[in-house]
């Protein structure tokens, strides 16, 4: 599986965990019920996914959102909320003091590690063959340590995620590699 497909599949698994379920199709993960705030109602898994793989399986009313993992969907009635870039992260720079944190409103599951060091927080989610890095907050200088903490939480797995704007620049300046574009659409 290529890096972007692996990142998209991990992200869909993370969204399914947060949403408490959903439907896995061959080209997309979808949720019939509105997902928690900041989480999409669908994530494409392959570049050949179409609106027909998504729209019949989601609540398409106002507020519906779709993560177009390959930035190639045509979704009538939707507009692009933001564009981002899938990234692969190196092993990071280990820093003492990163520890597992409790709470923060994320699911409690063996595949999830919420990690913190001072004001910085990051979430690690073990997917199929990769670990997803998400919800990073903290100063940019904490990024390499966050990547290392995610890698240490699930050793031996490549670290993937996505970022946009200043957060993407921070990740790229600190060694992340671009895997390809994605879009988030909203109705």
Residue range 117-173, pLDDT digits in tens = 999 999 999 999 999 999 999 998 999 999 999 999 999 999 999 999 999 999 999
**Residue 26 confidence (pLDDT) above 90:** yes
pLDDT of the residue at 165: 95
Return mean pLDDT, the chain. 95
The tens digit of pLDDT for each residue in 158-183 reads: 999 999 999 999 999 989 999 999 99
pLDDT of the residue at 93: 85
pLDDT of the residue at 1: 64
Supply 105's token pair: 């409103």
CB atoms under 10 Å from CB of 28, counted, come to 28
The half-sphere exposure of 133 on its side-chain side, counting CA atoms within 13 A, is 34
The tens digit of pLDDT for each residue in 37-48 reads: 999 999 999 999
Distance CA 142, CA 133 (A): 13
CB atoms under 10 Å from CB of 16, counted, come to 19
Give the sheet arrangement for strand 177-186, strand by strand: 23-24, 28-30, 42-44, 65-68, 177-186, 79-89, 159-163, 131-137, 120-126, 112-117, 99-100
CB atoms under 10 Å from CB of 37, counted, come to 6
Q: Which residues contact 161 (CB under 8 A, 6 or more apart)?
A: 7, 11, 86, 87, 89, 132, 133, 134, 171
């Amino acid at each position: 599986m290529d890096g972007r497909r692996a990142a998209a599949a991990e992200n869909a698994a993370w969204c399914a965990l947060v949403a408490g379920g959903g439907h896995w199709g061959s080209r997309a993960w979808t949720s019939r019920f509105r997902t928690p705030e900041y989480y999409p109602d669908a994530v494409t898994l392959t570049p050949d996914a179409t609106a027909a793989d998504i729209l019949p399986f989601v609540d398409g009313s106002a507020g519906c959102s779709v993560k177009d993992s390959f930035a190639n969907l045509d979704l009538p009635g939707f507009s692009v909320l933001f564009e981002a870039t899938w990234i692969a992260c190196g092993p990071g720079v280990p820093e003492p003091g990163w520890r597992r944190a409790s709470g923060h409103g994320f699911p409690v599951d063996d595949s999830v590690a919420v990690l913190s060091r001072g004001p910085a927080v990051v979430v690690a989610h073990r997917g199929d063959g990769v670990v997803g890095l998400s919800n990073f907050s903290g100063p940019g200088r904490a990024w390499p340590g966050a990547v290392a903490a995610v890698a240490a939480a699930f050793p031996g797995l490549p670290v993937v995620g996505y970022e946009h704007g200043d957060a993407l620049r921070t990740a790229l300046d600190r060694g992340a590699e671009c895997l390809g574009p994605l879009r988030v659409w909203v109705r």
